[in-house]
C-alpha cells in the first residue's frame, strides 16, 4: 500500500509518540524531537493551505476552507506528500504519513473533508482510554479536568473554530471522544487500522509492526527495535527537559511528555469524574475494549 496514510487521533492519544517511532525507523541515533514538522505536517496547517492555494485562507469562512481542503489533499497526494511526511527520505513506493485531529466528516458539497481519492490509501486510528485522555488534555490546554471532561462529551467540539481571530491551523471538528472515534470507525471510504495506545505501550514492537504492515512498509525488525528504543518515553522526556519541545503549549511550563503511563487516571481522577466519563462514553469504551469501573447505562456506541 503506497500513497498517503492518515495518522488520526483524538488529541492526547499518542499520535506524537507514534510519529516519533516512525521518525526513528531509519535513524542511527535518537531523532531530535524538535525535528518533527508539526506546523507543516498536520493536515490542518494553515500555512500549507495558503501556499498551495496561492491566497490567504483568512479571507475565507471555515465552511469555504472546508470545501477546498479535499482538493488540497488530492494535490498533496500527487505532488507534495513528501514535504508533509515526518521522514523526508522515505523510499519510493512506501507510504507517506500525515497527522490529523480532524474527525471524518464531509463538506457541504458532500465530499469527504480528508479526501478519499486514489492518493489517500488509508488511516491508522490511534485511540486511548478517555479516562487517561481527560487529565492529559487538561494539562496540555491549561484547563481543569472537569472542563476537559465536558469538552470530550461535546458533539459540537472543535479546535481553531472561532470566527473572531485567525488561528495558525484551520478548523478541526472534534465531536467528542466517542463521536471522533465513531466517525473514523464507521466510515467506509478508506480502510482503517486501529491502534490502542495501551496495546502500543504493552507491546510496542508488535503493535508498531502491525501498523507498518497495514501501511505497506517493508518490515525490518532490527530497525523497528532501534526505533522503539530511541522513542522510549524516558529518552523523549529527557530530550524535552534538555531542550524543550516546540509542540508544547506556548507560554506553559507543563511538560508535553508528562507521564506516558497506562491507567494513570486511577491516581488522577475522582470517583465522580470517572463516573462522568464512563457515562458519557460507555458505548464506545465497550466497543474499544476499555473496561468500566462504574456500572452505568450503556449509551449507543
pTM: 0.87
Give 155-161 contacts, CB < 8 A, sequence gap 24+: 155/179, 159/11, 159/44, 159/101, 160/44, 161/62
Q: Confirm whether 299 is domain-assigned.
A: no
Cβ atoms of 185 and 178 closer than 8 Å: no
Q: Confirm whether 211 is domain-assigned.
A: yes
Residue closest to 200 by CA, chosen among 240, 235, 227: 227
Question: What was the pLDDT predicted at 139?
Answer: 87
Distance, CA of 47 to CA of 53 (rounded, Å)? 10
* Helix or strand run (H / E) with residue 271: helix 271-288
> Helix 15-23 to helix 204-215 angle, to the nearest 10 degrees?
80
Question: What was the pLDDT predicted at 67?
Answer: 94
Q: Confirm whether 235 is domain-assigned.
A: yes
pLDDT tens figures, 138-180: 988 889 999 999 999 999 999 998 888 888 899 999 999 999 9
The two most distant CA atoms of the chain are separated, in Å, by 54
Along the 301 residues of the chain, how does pLDDT read in single tens digits? Answer: 456 899 999 999 999 899 989 989 888 888 887 777 543 478 898 988 898 888 899 999 999 999 999 988 877 766 544 444 434 444 555 677 889 999 999 999 999 999 877 778 899 999 999 999 999 999 888 899 999 999 999 999 999 988 888 888 999 999 999 999 999 999 999 999 999 999 999 999 999 999 999 999 988 999 999 999 998 877 877 777 776 665 565 555 555 555 567 888 999 999 999 999 999 999 999 999 999 986 554 444 4
Map grid coordinates 491549561 to a residue: 142
Question: What was the pLDDT predicted at 255?
Answer: 55
Cβ atoms of 130 and 286 closer than 8 Å: no
pLDDT tens figures, 100-147: 999 999 999 999 999 877 778 899 999 999 999 999 999 888 899 999
From the number of C-beta atoms within 10 Å of its C-beta (0-12, 13-18, 19+), residue 287 rates as middle
Q: Confirm whether 271 is domain-assigned.
A: no
Provide the terminal-to-terminal Cα distance of the chain, rounded to the nearest Å: 30
Map grid coordinates 503493535 to a residue: 207
Question: What was the pLDDT predicted at 239?
Answer: 79
Distances (CA, A) of 240 to 174, 247, 253: 28, 10, 11
**Nine-digit cell at 135?**
487529565
Q: Are β-strands 192-196 and 158-159 bridged in parallel, bridged antiparallel, or unpaired?
A: unpaired
Residue closest to 22 by CA, chosen among 276, 195, 263: 195
Q: Confirm whether 261 is domain-assigned.
A: no
Distance, CA of 137 to CA of 144 (rounded, Å)? 9
Q: What is the DSSP string of 2-38?
A: -SEEEEEE-TTSSHHHHHHHHHTTT-SSPPPGGGS-H
Distance, CA of 216 to CA of 230 (rounded, Å)? 22
Question: What was the pLDDT predicted at 295?
Answer: 56
Q: Confirm whether 179 is domain-assigned.
A: yes
Q: Confirm whether 141 is domain-assigned.
A: no
The CATH number of residue 50's host domain is: 3.40.50.300
**Cβ contacts of 218 within 8 Å, gap of 6 or more:** 94
Question: What was the pLDDT predicted at 80?
Answer: 44
**Nine-digit cell at 180?**
471522533
Q: Confirm whether 268 is domain-assigned.
A: no
Instruction: Compute the chain's Rg from CA coordinates.
Output: 19
Distance, CA of 42 to CA of 40 (rounded, Å)? 6
Domain region containing 37: 4-130+157-256
Q: What is the number of structural domains in the chain?
A: 1
Amino acid at each position: 500500500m503506497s500513497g498517503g496514510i492518515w495518522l488520526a487521533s483524538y488529541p492526547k492519544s499518542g499520535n506524537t509518540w507514534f510519529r516519533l517511532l516512525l521518525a526513528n525507523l531509519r535513524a542511527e541515533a535518537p531523532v531530535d524531537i524538535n525535528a518533527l514538522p508539526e506546523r507543516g505536517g498536520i493536515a490542518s496547517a494553515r500555512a500549507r493551505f495558503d501556499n498551495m492555494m496561492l491566497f490567504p485562507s483568512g479571507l475565507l469562512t471555515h465552511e469555504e476552507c472546508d470545501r477546498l481542503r479535499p482538493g488540497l489533499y488530492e494535490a498533496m497526494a500527487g505532488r507534495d506528500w513528501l514535504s508533509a511526511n515526518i521522514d523526508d527520505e522515505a523510499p519510493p513506493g512506501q507510504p507517506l504519513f500525515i497527522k490529523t485531529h480532524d474527525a471524518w466528516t464531509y463538506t457541504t458539497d458532500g465530499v469527504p473533508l480528508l479526501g478519499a481519492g486514489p492518493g489517500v490509501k488509508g488511516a491508522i486510528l490511534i485511540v486511548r482510554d478517555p479516562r487517561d485522555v481527560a487529565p492529559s488534555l487538561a494539562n496540555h490546554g491549561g484547563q481543569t479536568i472537569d472542563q476537559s471532561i465536558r469538552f470530550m462529551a461535546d458533539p459540537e467540539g472543535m479546535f481553531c473554530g472561532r470566527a473572531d481571530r485567525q488561528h495558525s491551523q484551520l478548523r478541526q471538528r472534534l465531536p467528542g471522544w466517542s463521536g471522533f472515534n465513531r466517525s473514523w470507525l464507521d466510515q467506509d471510504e478508506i480502510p482503517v487500522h486501529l491502534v490502542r495506545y495501551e496495546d502500543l505501550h504493552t507491546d510496542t514492537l508488535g503493535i508498531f509492526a502491525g501498523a507498518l504492515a497495514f501501511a505497506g512498509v517493508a518490515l525490518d525488525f532490527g530497525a523497528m527495535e532501534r526505533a522503539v528504543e530511541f522513542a522510549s518515553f524516558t529518552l523523549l522526556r529527557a530530550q524535552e527537559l534538555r531542550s524543550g519541545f516546540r509542540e508544547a503549549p506556548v507560554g506553559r511550563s507543563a511538560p508535553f511528555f508528562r507521564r506516558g503511563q497506562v491507567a494513570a487516571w486511577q491516581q488522577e481522577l475522582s470517583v465522580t469524574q470517572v463516573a462522568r466519563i464512563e457515562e458519557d462514553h460507555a458505548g464506545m469504551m465497550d466497543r474499544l475494549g476499555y473496561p468500566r469501573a462504574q456500572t452505568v447505562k450503556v449509551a449507543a456506541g
